[in-house]
């Protein structure tokens, strides 16, 4: 981990990651009396890390501006292009230019720090959000204000916007989520979190809302290229519960020019999968899971 990242939470004596079974769970830690006060402070905003000149950014911003209940949108870019400010003005978004060109993790951290709300959704510039995303999210927050993170289901689409209706990877991800939650909306026990995150990453990054009020020092790792999100969910889940919003409220674009596709081509994805599995399992188990997980790679291309 680089020097800017937060210390690991919940490491066992061998350096492996442990899930806390009840940290910050209101039913166990007596925080229910604080819920009304906490809800008053938990406001939500979107941040969009804009890199280069994406042909999909306009569509993304339009979907955020079209929410049934408008929440603030901030665009953060380390590579601003001519016309970006005008685009932000068109959709009433705040533009922040950052100078840290340290990769995706650095871009996400800069975008997150640009937000001035306790709840932050990192909206990827290639993706779109359904109009009810914000309202469904805040309904879930009202029920579970102490969750470390919230996430919804996601549909996948191709570069032309058409939906991938029978994608195997997406079906497997939803099965992993169902197995962990078992009909519930919220989990806080260690075993449920292990089922959710210990066998792969079923959570689509732009579908996640992070509770910075509960984790004010949280940062993504800057030395990773593709699995900084999965490792982040593991670390956040150690600090509190996880809430699943059981609706497909956003659409994630899969295309061959994505960073995920490039990491598959050069082997970075396999190396980082092995790293995360190694944080949670003994070496033999980690190698086996990494090998099995690599069979899903073909699903990340058009």
User: How far is Cα 224 from Cα 211, in angstroms, rounded to an integer?
Assistant: 22
Q: Which residue has the higher pLDDT, 275 or 28?
A: 275
46-60, 199-213, 285-299, range with the lowest pLDDT:
285-299
Angle of CA points 81, 157, 110, to nearest 5°: 40
Tokens describing residue 137: 């999210």
Contacts of 22 (CB under 8 A, 6+ apart): 28, 29, 188, 189
Average pLDDT of the chain, as a whole number:
86
User: How far is Cα 7 from Cα 12, in angstroms, rounded to an integer?
Assistant: 13
pLDDT at 274 over 50: yes
Q: DSSP states of 31-73 as a string? A: -GGGHHHHHHH--EEEEEEE-S--TTHHHHHHHHHT-SS---E
DSSP 6: P
pLDDT at 24 over 90: no
Residue 274 CA: distances (Å) to CA of 214, 287, 294:
29, 7, 10
User: How far is Cα 280 from Cα 249, in angstroms, rounded to an integer?
Assistant: 30
What pLDDT sits at residue 39? Answer: 57
**Model confidence at 295, in pLDDT bands (50, 70, 90)?**
confident
Residue closest to 256 by CA, chosen among 159, 145, 140? 159
The stretch 196-213 carries a mean pLDDT of 97
Note the pLDDT tens digit of each residue in 49-89.
Answer: 999 999 999 999 999 999 999 999 999 999 999 999 999 99
Tokens describing residue 128: 């779109």
The stretch 45-52 carries a mean pLDDT of 96
**Model confidence at 269, in pLDDT bands (50, 70, 90)?**
confident
Strands annotated E in the chain: 44-50, 73-77, 94-97, 119-122, 128-129, 149-157, 186-187, 208-211, 242-253
Contacts of 91 (CB under 8 A, 6+ apart): 61, 62, 64, 65, 73
pLDDT at 281 over 50: yes
Longest Cα separation, the chain: 53
Q: Which residue has the higher pLDDT, 98 or 120?
A: 120
SS3 of 192-206: the string is HHHHHHCCCCCCCHH
Read off the pTM: 0.85
pLDDT at 299 over 70: no
Residue closest to 129 by CA, chosen among 60, 76, 70, 75? 60
Stretch (H or E) spanning 288:
helix 283-293
pLDDT at 117 over 50: yes
119-122 and 208-211 beta bridge pairing: antiparallel
Note the pLDDT tens digit of each residue in 146-183.
Answer: 999 999 999 999 989 899 887 888 899 999 999 999 99
Question: What residue ranges do the domains of the chain occupy?
Answer: 26-42+127-294
The stretch 24-38 carries a mean pLDDT of 47
């Amino acid at each position: 981990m680089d020097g800017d990242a937060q210390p690991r939470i919940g490491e066992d004596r061998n350096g492996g990651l442990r899930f806390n079974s009840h940290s910050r769970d209101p039913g166990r830690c007596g925080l229910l009396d604080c819920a009304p006060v906490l809800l008053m402070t938990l406001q939500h905003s979107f941040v969009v890390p804009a890199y280069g000149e994406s042909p999909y950014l306009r569509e993304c911003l339009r979907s955020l501006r079209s929410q049934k209940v408008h929440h603030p949108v901030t665009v953060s870019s380390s590579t601003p292009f001519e016309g970006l400010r005008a685009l932000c003005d068109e959709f009433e978004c705040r533009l922040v230019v950052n100078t840290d060109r340290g990769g995706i993790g650095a871009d996400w951290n800069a975008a997150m720090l640009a937000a001035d709300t306790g709840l932050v959704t990192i909206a990827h510039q290639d993706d779109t959000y359904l109009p009810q995303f914000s309202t469904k999210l805040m309904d879930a927050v009202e029920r579970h204000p102490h969750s470390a993170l919230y996430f919804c289901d996601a549909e996948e689409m191709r570069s032309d916007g058409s939906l991938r209706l029978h994608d195997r990877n997406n079906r497997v991800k939803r099965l992993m989520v169902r197995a962990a939650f078992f009909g519930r909306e919220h989990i806080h026990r260690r075993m449920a979190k292990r089922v959710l995150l210990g066998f792969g990453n079923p959570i689509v990054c732009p579908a996640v809302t992070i509770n910075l009020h509960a984790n004010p020092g949280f940062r993504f790792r800057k030395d990773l290229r593709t699995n900084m999100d999965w490792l982040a969910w593991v670390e956040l889940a150690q600090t509190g519960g996880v809430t699943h919003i059981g609706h497909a409220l956003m659409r994630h674009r899969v295309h061959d020019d994505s960073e995920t596709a490039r990491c598959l081509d050069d082997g970075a994805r396999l190396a980082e999968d092995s790293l995360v599995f190694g944080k949670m399992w003994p070496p033999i188990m980690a190698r086996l899971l990494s090998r099995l997980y690599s069979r899903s790679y073909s699903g990340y291309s058009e």
